[in-house]
């Protein structure tokens, strides 16, 4: 098998040894196959909502000769019963889709379940959901893959509301100390700056413009601007 993309490699590296893994939205199943080949996980279930990607996953599992990856069809985490996985990976989807998947699974509200989340877009929607539903983002790992910057969120249910700065949804726990972190925060800053500027010229949108300006201040502080 060719090497994992940097995005999947970062997730692979964070999977605890001996984990019971569920890869939700597996598509090609490259990550489950790499985990199985490395003998890193105790069990691996690869799920997808669509039959076609799951068929691709089965073909790859056979092609790369790993017998320990089980495949299941279904929406989100619904094919996995409580206790079957302690590490749930949801990567390569929009933040809104990941939010939908998490909101439909009550058993992940357990500090013993480790969530590894990697949104392609809409990370702020996901962070807002996590914070209001008492999940804690313990760490974020910003990364570059094919010229684009993403963040992998390492998350657990804490049951406690964290007091987070205004604008946290856009920065998460990414710091500007690494090149990837700086690029991530600069990307988010540009989006917020564009929103604040457009809104400031529209009558009746003053409150929204102020909201984005507050977020901009938070990102500026993190970036030392
Ligand atoms: C772009 S692929 C990502 C594959 C892989 N996880 C990665 O990060 O490279 C997204 C996959 O998620 C699946 N998907 C989308 N919504 C889903 C849902 N609600 N439940 C399960 N799978 C879903 C799609 O069918 C597709 O195969």
Q: What is the pLDDT of residues 68-103, one digit of tens each?
A: 999 999 999 999 999 999 999 999 999 999 999 999
Report the pLDDT averaged over residues 114-136: 98
Give domain status of residue 1, yes or no.
no
User: Does 96 lie in the same domain as 183?
Assistant: no
Q: Are residues 35 and 120 in the same domain?
A: yes
- The residue whose CA has the least distance to atom 20 of ligand 1 is 76
Q: What average pLDDT does the chain have?
A: 97
Rounded CA gap, 146 and 165, in Å? 31
Joined tokens for residue 94: 């929009």
27 lines ligand 1 (CB under 6 A): yes
Tell whether 66 is covered by a domain: yes
Ligand 1 centroid, distance to 169 Cα (angstroms)? 23
Q: Is residue 168 part of a domain?
A: no
Within this chain, do residues 44 and 152 fall inside the same structural domain, yes or no? yes
Number of domains into which the chain is organized: 2
What pLDDT is recorded for position 2? 82
For residue 62, what are the domain limits?
6-163
User: Do 103 and 208 share a structural domain?
Assistant: no
Give 73-87 as a DSSP string. Answer: ESSTTTTS-TTS-SE
Same domain, 141 and 185: no
57 in contact with ligand 1, CB cutoff 6 A: no
Q: Is the domain of 111 the same as that of 13? A: yes
Residues 187 and 136 in one domain: no
Residues 91 and 139 both lie in one domain = yes
What is the rounded CA–CA span in Å between residue 15 and residue 221?
32
Please give the average per-residue pLDDT across 138-149, as a whole number. 98
Give the whole-angstrom CA distance, residue 149 versus residue 1.
24
Q: Is there a domain that residue 62 lies in?
A: yes
The CATH number assigned to the domain holding 149 equals 3.40.50.150
Determine, yes or no, domain membership for 44: yes
List pLDDT tens digits, range 21-33. 999 999 999 999 9
Both 95 and 192 in one domain: the answer is: no
Task: Tell the residue nearest (CA) to atom 12 of ligand 1.
Answer: 25
The number of beta carbons lying within 10 Å of the beta carbon of residue 116 is 23
103 lines ligand 1 (CB under 6 A): no
* Residue 93 in contact with ligand 1 by CB distance below 6 A: yes
* Whether 117 and 86 share a structural domain: yes
């Amino acid at each position: 098998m060719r090497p994992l993309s940097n995005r999947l490699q970062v997730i692979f590296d964070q999977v605890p040894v001996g984990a019971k893994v569920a890869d939700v939205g597996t598509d090609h199943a490259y990550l489950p196959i790499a985990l199985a080949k490395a003998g890193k996980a105790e069990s691996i279930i690869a799920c997808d909502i669509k039959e076609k990607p799951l068929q691709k996953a089965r073909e790859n599992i056979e092609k790369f000769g790993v017998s320990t990856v089980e495949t299941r069809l279904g929406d989100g985490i619904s094919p996995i019963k409580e206790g079957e996985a302690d590490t749930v990976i949801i990567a390569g989807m929009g933040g809104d889709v990941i939010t939908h998947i998490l909101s439909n699974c009550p058993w992940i509200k357990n500090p013993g379940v480790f969530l590894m989340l990697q949104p392609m877009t809409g990370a702020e929607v996901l962070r807002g959901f996590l914070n209001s539903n008492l999940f804690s983002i313990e760490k974020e790992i910003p990364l570059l893959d094919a010229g684009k910057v993403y963040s992998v969120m390492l998350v657990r249910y804490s049951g406690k509301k964290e007091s987070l700065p205004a604008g946290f949804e856009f920065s998460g726990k990414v710091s500007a100390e690494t090149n990837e972190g700086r690029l991530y925060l600069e990307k988010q800053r540009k989006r917020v700056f564009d929103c604040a500027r457009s809104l400031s010229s529209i009558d009746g949108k003053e409150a929204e413009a102020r909201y984005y300006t507050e977020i901009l201040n938070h990102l500026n502080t993190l970036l030392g601007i």
